[in-house]
């Protein structure tokens, strides 16, 4: 029997038919959704675990906007855990283990430590964490030399306002406002440091009301692991660092290797949420749901840097892949991430309409101020590098870091390296994407993501329809 040929479509092949709408404003659309069985998102946007997309700054920014960043894994385990730790410390209600410095340290040492940790000041404590004082950026301004000691210039304990162990966040907030101070250390009866509340964290709370945080006020963040080599150790270190969700990410996620990896990760990291991928079929979704994953990542070959379909001949156009996987995953209540190929806000509306609970974005966020990597200037234009995780360049980077055992001559790349124009802040891009999503929800009279999934009716369009959908028959400026 010859193989059958089914029709499969992607975002540009379809449009969503508008419906009578009760909306007075697109602001009525609620974008809250699920990332995994337990974790939710304020907006259905996840940044890709790629080395030129998601590091600390991207993860912090996206979580503050209500999404989540998945930190890439193309770095040592130690560095990877440190990135997670830094995201977790970026925002707090009460910091339970504040950074400290010894009173014998020099001004130079304080400056270096504060810069490394990304903080303005430090609590001064002895080795038993007994609070001796605070050294702030203001104290540093009045230092006369870099070899002065902390003890000489700190604000000593008897001049500090401190709160007693057990203080509530609301009380701490009131004290900060009343005393007009930047930092409020919390100590127990023996003056041992129990926590810290800072003005900077209070400002963040006001500035980012939609921030995706857990009960401690810390931002939610994801980490990624593979299925070979040191992945269990990496996962355990990420969990120790406070990661909220692990993304087990390989090119072909519908595999025995993936199933075994999920089983091992479950045993090694009990309680952590696990998203697995990438997959493109209902069979794959069902098999991974049966193993007990908490989320699925769908997309084989739709990404901007992907050449998997060219190299292997395999893949499924993304809209069909999302529809099939989401239908299967719904039976297990497992949320689906549509990963790759999102070029514009309308694609997000279509992905969610097709059943995805969120989308993962790479290319659109590469080239922003928040993505890792430096800006390259050519003439009067600015660019940033963007490359596939399966590109030769990433394999070379992995080899240099000792993460790749294979000889580089054996690598068959399934991704390419390129540059994308520098685009400014990701906050503006997310604003446009979410605005477009809300408008799409109003066109379909969907007040929630769930309603969009119920209400969506697609029409397949032709090349003429695609041409008609973009700007046409006008000049370019």
Interface with ligand XMP (CB under 6 A): 48, 50, 278, 299, 301, 303-306, 308, 339-342, 360-363, 388-391, 414-415
Q: How near is the Cβ of 174 to ligand XMP at its closest, in Å?
A: 44
Q: How near is the Cβ of 36 to ligand XMP at its closest, in Å?
A: 16
Ramachandran region of residue 11, left (φ > 0), alpha (ψ -120 to 50) or beta? alpha
Q: How near is the Cβ of 410 to ligand XMP at its closest, in Å?
A: 16
Q: How near is the Cβ of 340 to ligand XMP at its closest, in Å?
A: 4
Q: Which lies closer to ligand XMP via its Cβ, residue 201 or residue 414?
A: 414
CA angle at residue 120 from 117 to 124, to 5 degrees? 85
* H/E element, 203: helix 199-207
**SS3 of 105, please?**
coil
Asked about 306 being catalytic, the answer comes back as: yes
Q: How near is the Cβ of 308 to ligand XMP at its closest, in Å?
A: 3
Q: How near is the Cβ of 440 to ligand XMP at its closest, in Å?
A: 18
Q: Which lies closer to ligand XMP via its Cβ, residue 133 or residue 415?
A: 415
Q: How near is the Cβ of 49 to ligand XMP at its closest, in Å?
A: 7
CB 73 within 8 Å of CB 223: yes
Gap between the Cα atoms of 462 and 228, Å rounded: 43
Q: What is the distance of C-alpha 279 from the center of its chain? A: 20
**SS3 of 424, please?**
strand
Q: Which lies closer to ligand XMP via its Cβ, residue 113 or residue 397?
A: 397
Gap between the Cα atoms of 99 and 114, Å rounded: 9
What b/e sequence results for 393-415 when a residue is b if at least 16 CB atoms lie within 10 Å of its CB, and e otherwise?
bbbebbeeeebbeeeeeebebbb
Q: How many Cβ atoms are within 10 Å of 134's Cβ, its own excluded?
A: 27
Gap between the Cα atoms of 132 and 79, Å rounded: 31
Q: Which lies closer to ligand XMP via its Cβ, residue 198 or residue 395?
A: 395
Q: Which lies closer to ligand XMP via its Cβ, residue 339 or residue 357?
A: 339
Q: Which lies closer to ligand XMP via its Cβ, residue 42 or residue 69?
A: 69
Exposed/middle/buried for residue 332 (C-beta within 10 Å: 0-12, 13-18, 19+)? middle
Exposed/middle/buried for residue 238 (C-beta within 10 Å: 0-12, 13-18, 19+)? buried
Q: Which lies closer to ligand XMP via its Cβ, residue 92 or residue 278?
A: 278
CB 359 within 8 Å of CB 352: yes
**SS3 of 127, please?**
coil
Q: Which lies closer to ligand XMP via its Cβ, residue 312 or residue 445?
A: 312
- Which residue has its beta carbon closest to ligand XMP? 415
Which residues, in sequence order, are CB contacts of 259 under 8 Å at separation 6+?
287, 288, 291
Q: Strand 183-187 vs strand 245-249: parallel, antiparallel, or unpaired?
A: unpaired
Residue among 306, 314, 325, 456 flagged as catalytic: 306
Report which DSSP code applies to 200.
Answer: H
Gap between the Cα atoms of 211 and 61, Å rounded: 9
The tokens describing 404, both together, are 């790749």
Q: How near is the Cβ of 393 to ligand XMP at its closest, in Å?
A: 10
Q: How near is the Cβ of 304 to ligand XMP at its closest, in Å?
A: 4
Which residues, in sequence order, are CB contacts of 144 under 8 Å at separation 6+?
none
Q: Which lies closer to ligand XMP via its Cβ, residue 121 or residue 362?
A: 362
Greatest alpha-carbon span in the chain: 87
Q: How many Cβ atoms are within 10 Å of 273's Cβ, its own excluded?
A: 19
Catalytic residue positions, numbered? 306
């Amino acid at each position: 029997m010859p193989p059958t040929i089914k029709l499969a479509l992607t975002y540009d092949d379809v449009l969503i038919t508008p419906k009578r709408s009760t909306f007075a404003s697109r602001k009525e659309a609620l974008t809250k959704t699920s990332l995994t069985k337990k974790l939710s998102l304020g907006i259905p946007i996840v940044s890709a675990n790629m080395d030129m997309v998601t590091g600390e700054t991207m993860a912090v920014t996206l979580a503050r906007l209500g999404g989540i960043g998945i930190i890439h894994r193309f770095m040592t385990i130690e560095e990877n855990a440190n990135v997670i730790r830094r995201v977790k410390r970026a925002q707090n209600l009460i910091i339970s283990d504040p950074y400290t410095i010894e009173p014998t340290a020099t001004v130079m040492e304080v400056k270096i430590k504060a810069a490394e940790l990304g903080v303005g000041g430090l609590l001064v404590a002895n080795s038993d964490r007994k609070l001796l004082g605070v050294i702030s950026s203001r104290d540093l301004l009045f230092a006369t030399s870099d070899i002065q000691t902390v003890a000489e210039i700190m604000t000593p304990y008897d001049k500090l306002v401190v709160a007693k162990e057990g203080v509530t966040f609301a009380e701490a907030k009131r004290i900060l406002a009343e005393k007009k101070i930047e930092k409020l250390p919390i100590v127990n009866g023996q003056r041992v440091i129990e926590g810290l509340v800072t003005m900077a964290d209070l400002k963040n709370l006001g500035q980012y009301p939609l921030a995706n945080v857990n009960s401690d006020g810390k931002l939610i963040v994801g980490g990624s692991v593979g299925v070979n080599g040191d992945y269990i150790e990496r996962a355990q270190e990420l969990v120790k660092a406070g990661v909220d969700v692990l993304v087990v990410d390989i090119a072909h996620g519908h595999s025995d290797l993936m199933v075994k990896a999920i089983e091992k990760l479950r045993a090694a990291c009990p309680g952590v949420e696990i998203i697995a991928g990438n997959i493109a079929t209902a069979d794959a979704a069902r098999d991974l749901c049966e193993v007990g994953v908490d989320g699925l990542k769908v997309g084989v070959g739709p990404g901007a840097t992907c050449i998997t379909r060219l190299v292997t001949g395999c893949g499924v156009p993304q809209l069909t892949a999302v529809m099939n996987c989401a239908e299967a995953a719904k039976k297990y209540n497992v949320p689906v991430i549509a990963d790759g190929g999102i070029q514009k806000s309308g694609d997000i509306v279509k992905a969610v309409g097709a059943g995805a609970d969120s989308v993962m974005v790479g290319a659109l966020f590469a080239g922003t101020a928040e993505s890792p990597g430096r800006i390259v200037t050519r003439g009067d234009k600015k660019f940033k590098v963007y490359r596939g995780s399966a590109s030769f360049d990433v394999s070379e980077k992995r080899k240099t870091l000792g993460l790749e055992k294979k000889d580089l001559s054996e690598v068959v790349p399934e991704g390419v390296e390129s540059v994308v124009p520098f685009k400014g802040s990701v906050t503006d891009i997310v604003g446009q994407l979410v605005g477009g999503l809300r408008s799409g929800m109003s066109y379909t009279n969907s007040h929630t993501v769930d309603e969009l999934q119920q209400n969506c009716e697609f029409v397949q369009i032709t090349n003429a329809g695609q041409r008609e959908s973009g700007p046409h028959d006008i000049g370019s400026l």
